[in-house]
Structure 1
């Protein structure tokens, strides 16, 4: 460190003495500054806060990283400013000024430590670190190539999927319900390991009939099968009577779907209102009494109807317009 004097020396002895005293004074000043920088207590570990919102239930995010605990020299408290995903992902590198007690950090090429360096030590974050990890499961709302792959597989197996558009919407969810029912899996409409394995293994229900075009209704698994000469050509999610009692027009009924062999005897090509004022049915095909196979906007993964068999409106359109099930078509309920 250079010591500058305001006046010229009056002699060699005087100059040497002043130089020595000046040097000792600079050393003492430097020691005092360093002591002030290093001697302050660092805040306890529990004063550094993290801010990480609870992960959403359908889309778990990455585990938040611990916040940087070393404060800047000019700050009295540690910074806890969260990043976009609720966690500070700093690499812990000290910022300029953290370990300097004098103005020596300003010397050199004028660039602060770590500033503008490609290794991210100047506070820049790797964009990949902020991207949430893709969950292992696939569920409603996802749009991706793997959804398109799932749709294609379901379609190839015969589950009712009309479009491979890479968007997990209602139609895909209905097909996943059907696959889970066929495989005896939990019916949540979410594709986890078990459901993915069922698709990979080609799980498809077997027909109970061996000849002709038949509509088979599997009450136990809540499925409708379009069968041709013993081969299942389409598997459709369905919802039948829930077994509960209900009142309609002063009478009490049981929401029951009868089992047995029947045939389509009446059909309505459009929206039909229940005579018991229980709601509307889309393009119903009646096969016994007031019980029909019909389209509905609500087809859950469990029994929920008053006795009719619900399928999606799109599936009912396919039965009418593509496959064809005119009056006289056998309907087997088991």
Structure 2
């Protein structure tokens, strides 16, 4: 069933208290004294002029309601709606449980990358509009199951018959220099077309760090789970995914040996 695009209730505007003050319209005015009778000690004052009331002050501008922002730690039905919309668009974030945790943050990163937005993992007005528009990346391949890794957008996509079915936030080579055994290397993820050739079901204690359930597609370069998957290039060359996302690819059988991998 196709769901409607998300809408989020705006935060109610704060009530502005308006004080209605009155200024004095003028002082009392004395009448000009008449002739003073010889028997009178003093003249009687004339009638006082009525004061002119000051009109009430014009209402000040009401404060604009602040837009709703969903971020890590949020809970409730709005988060469920967000999670379901992300899943509908193909951004994997597991089961909708109403808690904005790591999986949801990773999916929001992926959406923001696809939409060309800042990658902060927070659902503000711009990210909300991207959800409403149904933004999703386009594939380059046209047939069969292909794992496409976009180095520019830092996205890993499962593509079936030219259609993107699932999208993940990934972090590839940082393009920085590093040293290993006295030699200097460049942390890059080479572009090209490859295939998943081997895999390890568990932790791989590699010389450059830990790799969770890696699926190798280019020598020692693999798609693997990691405890840190920032929304920017940070690896030594592999394509990092979250631990939860890598577990999903293993248990669902989405990335078997022989799967084509296209890095561009």
Is the structural similarity TM-score above 0.5?
Answer: yes
Specify which structure has the bigger relative contact order, considering alpha-carbon pairs within 8 angstroms and separated by 6 or more residues.
2
Q: Which residue of 2 aligns with 1:15?
A: none
Q: CA deviation at 1:266?
A: 1.4
The answer as to 2:240 corresponding to 1:280 is no
- After superposition, the C-alpha distances for 1:201-237 in whole angstroms (9 at most, x for unaligned) are 1101011111111111011000000111111110000
Preserved CA contact (<8 Å) 2:67 2:124: no
The answer as to 2:256 corresponding to 1:326 is yes
User: Aligned to 2:140, which of 208, 225, 235?
Assistant: 208
Higher strand share: 2
Aligned-residue Cα RMSD (Å) equals: 2.1
Instruction: Describe how 1:61-100 pairs up with structure 2 within 5 A.
Output: none
Larger radius of gyration: 1
- After superposition, the C-alpha distances for 1:55-91 in whole angstroms (9 at most, x for unaligned) are xxxxx9x98999xxxxxxxxxxxxxxxxxxxxxxxx9
Q: Which residue of 2 aligns with 1:76?
A: none
- After superposition, the C-alpha distances for 1:177-213 in whole angstroms (9 at most, x for unaligned) are 0000000001010111110010111101011111111
- What is the TM-score normalised by the length of structure 2? 0.74
Q: CA deviation at 1:134?
A: 8.1
The answer as to 2:77 corresponding to 1:145 is yes
Preserved CA contact (<8 Å) 2:148 2:261: yes
Preserved CA contact (<8 Å) 2:67 2:125: no
The answer as to 2:143 corresponding to 1:185 is no
Q: Which residue of 2 aligns with 1:248?
A: 180
Instruction: Describe how 1:157-306 pairs up with structure 2 within 5 A.
Output: 157-274=89-206, 277-306=207-236
Instruction: Describe how 1:28-47 pairs up with structure 2 within 5 A.
Output: none
Tell me how many residue pairs correspond in the alignment.
207
Task: Supply the distance in 1 between the matched residues of 2:134 and 2:87 (Cα, whole angstroms).
Answer: 11
Preserved CA contact (<8 Å) 2:172 2:189: yes
Give the secondary-structure state (helix, strand or coil) at the position aligned to 1:320: helix
Q: Which runs of 4+ in 1 moved over 6 A?
A: 62-66
Q: CA deviation at 1:165?
A: 1.1
Structure 1: state its 5+ residue gaps: 1-59, 67-90, 92-132
Q: CA deviation at 1:323?
A: 3.8
